């Protein structure tokens, strides 16, 4: 079973750029690594992501020697901490429409990136189609974790677990997060059963009618990524 924590999902094949690198080098690397964004560092400090759109004007003006430190970089707030969960990475990617999310340590120093495709590979199992499944994230004391017990509660509500991933809770060393993918879009009864037995539901995407417009949009976006 793969870890679902950011530092364990790092993609070492995608390098960062430096503020002292040129626009030309950035354009070449974006093409070479087949990504739409790359992180830019000042020493080891993360400064933002450079995109193809950022470079377009400079390339057209034949100014590929321009240094990246002269660009107004965006996405400076788009990053996660090294101990954050799969769910946080996906939320960050979805909200900002990026292919990769930089990972930082406690000192805001760059550790690497996690790509959407790597995160989904860690999640494993075939993707669920809209209307055919749901994603549920539970929080519990580590001593209370029993997948057999949780599976029984899910199956009592006429559903099955398609995949399950356990990760340490980044805020509490004695608790864990369990990310479940189930084969039904209706989570109401499943969630009620799990909560009755003491499991905290920290996030859910179920794509059914009771969702508000924003939640439905986020759910659809998550399913779109899960279908890659």
pTM of the entire structure? 0.59
Distance CA 103, CA 81 (A): 6
**What is the separation, in whole angstroms, between the first and last Cα of the chain?**
21
CATH label of the domain that carries residue 195: 3.30.70.260
pLDDT of residue 220: 59
In a domain, 158, yes or no: yes
Residue-by-residue pLDDT tens, the chain, 228 positions: 445 688 888 888 899 999 999 999 999 999 888 889 999 999 999 999 999 988 887 766 677 788 999 898 999 999 999 988 777 888 888 788 888 999 999 988 999 999 887 776 666 544 444 446 788 888 899 888 888 899 999 999 999 888 777 777 767 888 888 888 888 888 889 999 999 999 998 877 654 444 445 555 555 555 555 443
Last residue of a domain, one of 90, 121, 152: 121
- Give the per-residue pLDDT at 218: 56
Provide the token pair at 59: 């390339």
Q: CA 93, CA 193: separation in Å to the nearest integer?
A: 31
| Residue 130 to residue 210: CA distance in whole angstroms | 15
User: Has residue 145 been placed in a domain?
Assistant: yes
Instruction: Say if residue 117 is in the same domain as residue 134.
Output: no
Query: What domain range is 169 assigned to?
Result: 125-226
104 and 12 together in one domain: yes
Same domain, 113 and 130: no
Number of domains in the chain: 2
Q: Helix, strand, coil shares of the chain as percentages rounded to 5?
A: 35, 30, 35
Judge if 11 and 104 occupy the same domain. Answer: yes
Q: Is residue 106 part of a domain?
A: yes
The whole-number pLDDT of residue 129 equals 47
Residues 92, 162 within the same domain: no
Give me the CATH number covering residue 110. 3.10.580.10
pLDDT at position 110: 96
């Amino acid at each position: 079973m793969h870890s679902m924590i950011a530092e364990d999902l790092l993609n070492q094949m995608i390098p960062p750029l430096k503020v002292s690198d040129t626009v030309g080098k950035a354009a070449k690397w974006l093409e070479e690594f087949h990504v739409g964004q790359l992180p830019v560092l000042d020493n080891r400090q993360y400064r933002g992501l450079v995109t193809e759109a950022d470079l377009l004007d400079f390339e057209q003006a034949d100014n590929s020697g321009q240094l990246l430190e002269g660009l107004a970089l965006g996405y400076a707030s788009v990053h996660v901490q090294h101990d954050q969960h799969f769910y946080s990475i996906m939320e960050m990617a979805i909200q900002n429409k990026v292919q990769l999310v930089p990972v930082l340590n406690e000192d805001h120093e760059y550790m690497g990136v996690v790509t959407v495709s790597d995160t989904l590979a860690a999640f494993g199992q075939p993707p669920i189609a809209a209307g055919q499944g749901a994603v549920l994230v539970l929080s519990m004391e580590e001593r209370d974790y029993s997948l057999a017990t949780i599976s029984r509660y899910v199956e009592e509500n006429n559903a099955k677990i398609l995949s399950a991933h356990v990760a340490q809770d980044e805020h509490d060393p004695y608790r864990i997060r369990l990310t479940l993918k189930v084969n039904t879009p209706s989570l109401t009864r499943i969630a009620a059963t799990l909560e009755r037995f003491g499991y905290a539901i920290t996030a859910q995407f179920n794509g059914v009618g009771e969702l508000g417009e924003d939640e439905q949009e986020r759910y659809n976006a998550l399913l779109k990524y899960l279908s890659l």
